[in-house]
Structure 1
């Protein structure tokens, strides 16, 4: 079983990432992930349409459909040349609560990458994900995104989900409502202008949500994604410690937290290289919100 094999469109398969932007026409070289079961909050609907999955390949072999970037006419970044006023989805109270895990009845993992983009580590992470045909969610910091727009577009063009991680990575619990709104709104705006995709998911730095951030995120059409597996890779505990924590704690429905920015992430990159083939060989699929 390869990580990129898709379960999208399966009967009874519901969307744990309800409220995500609707998927565009399938991009031939975008590595699509498996679908998952019901979300822990609300009553999410099924994903609207199936996505093209790469041909199953043995662990360690490059996915034949996950190579290169799409052409300019079909790429999300090309859409940025045609500005459209973004429309925010009105969120219910249930949709506004942080999601900590997915449905445990399916052997699916959501891999999330925080604090980028970073030109030192993000390209290597992208190559590793491509090798195994995995889609991930990249929670990008606005001030990093504005410095590296080409890298933001590359993440999007490779089929990964682009999400909001504030502009400066502050502790939102200590900011006024106006400052919280500025942190979220500026980041969503720059990501939309850079990729043509309106962000629909948000993660508070450190997982430190506040009443203001939850309220403002909902107002901006942003759902909140937390995590259930944290190897504390940001603290650089050692590659083996990161790998051991993930392999010990991952279970069906896990949301895994990793970082590709915010400092020296060489340990994280080495850990991803080590644990991805183990999870794939163990029969796990990977998922991300539709683009």
Structure 2
């Protein structure tokens, strides 16, 4: 992760991903069926038991730890948060979930690339004000420097997902590097909040077979999105609001960002579209496993 302007353009990334034979998610595609979820229309969901598509998240402070080869989950880890019973691994999927089914008039709000102390606290405050939960797909190098924000997310009942360590284009990586990116991020989250992520999202929405396999080995399901706000382009808060409200519907997953550049428009937009969604009778929920 460097700054909000990727080293190669978004269209080039998607073209490259397609040429490499990976799954690039798009909101119009059909979704796999997902099981049970908390949250009903007009009610806040219970606390839990996802960028994607934008540019890379902003770089961490200079003191951020370097990514190291990760043996996470390859051997028992008893030094912290010991598991009381083995967790069943999810199946290896061939595509991510793009929307939710069986949740009535409920939607999911997701935020990628953080946590960022400049913007994440304001997003958390807005969600708290309306008693709503969201999914935060965090990047490991940002999470490592902002563990207090991870704990605040967990305390508020939000779902913390895995968005890799450094926001790379996954299909360019060797399997060992994909494991390092995902495993090191899961380790940071588990050390901070006592539970590893159950969901992950590929940077740029570029998935491949290895990412699905390694994600499943680490106990995570792949979650994409239905509505892309394109807030990383900084189109104006009004445009972001319009995209969310125009795309609203049962089971919709909204992609936004709380890091990766100037996210003040995303913060302002959330303050406007969240109460509007609630007023229209939509519940805001999170996936449960």
TM-score (norm 1): 0.72
Q: State whether residues 225 and 254 of structure 2, in contact with CA within 8 Å, keep that contact through their aligned partners in structure 1.
A: yes
Cα separation, partners in 2 of 1:186 and 1:43, compared to 1, 3 Å: closer
Distance (whole Å) between structure 2 residues aligned to residue 196 and residue 289 of structure 1: 19
Shift of 1:217: 0.6
Give the 5 Å matches for 1:176-255: 176-255=174-253
Cα 1:232/1:43, change in 2 over 3 Å: closer
The whole-number CA distance in structure 2 between the counterparts of 1:161 and 1:43 is: 16
Inter-partner Cα distance in structure 1 for 2:183 and 2:103: 35
RMSD: 2.8
- Give how far 1:221 is off: 1.1
Structure 1: gaps (5+ residues): 1-38, 58-64, 67-79
Q: How does 1:58-73 map to 2 (within 5 A)?
A: none
**Is the CA contact (8 Å cut-off) linking 2:110 and 2:254 kept in structure 1?**
yes
Report the equivalent of 1:162: 160
Q: Relative to 1, partners in 2 of residues 1:151 and 1:204: Cα closer, same or farther, differing over 3 Å? A: same
Q: Within 5 Å, which residues of 2 pair with 1:119-134?
A: 119-134=117-132
Instruction: Report the equivalent of 1:41.
Output: 32
> 1:105 deviation in Å?
6.8
For residues 189-233 of structure 1, give each alpha carbon's deviation from its aligned partner in whole angstroms, at most 9, with x where no partner exists. Answer: 110011001211000011111111111111111100000000100
Higher relative contact order (CA closer than 8 Å, sequence separation 6+): 2
Change (3 A) 1:43 1:262: closer
Distance 1:42 1:267, change over 3 A: closer
Whether the 8 Å contact between 2:168 and 2:203 is mirrored in structure 1 is: yes
Query: C-alpha offsets along residues 152-211 of structure 1, whole Å, 9 cap, x if unaligned?
Result: 111111111111000001110111111001000000011001100121100001111111
Q: Secondary structure at the match of 1:243?
A: helix
Partner of 2:280: 282
Query: What residue in structure 1 maps to residue 67 of structure 2?
Result: none
Mapped partners of 2:118, 2:135: distance in 1: 18
Matched positions, count: 227
Structure 2 contact 105–250 (Cα < 8 Å) conserved: yes
The answer for the alignment partner of 1:272 in structure 2 is 270
| Matched residue SS, 2:228 | coil
Unaligned runs of 5+ in 2: 1-29, 48-77
How far, CA to CA, are the matches of 1:269 and 1:81 in structure 2? 38
Matches within 5 A, 1:68-107: 82-84=80-82, 87-94=86-93, 97-103=95-101, 106-107=104-105
Does structure 1 conserve the Cα–Cα contact (< 8 Å) formed by 2:164 and 2:185?
yes
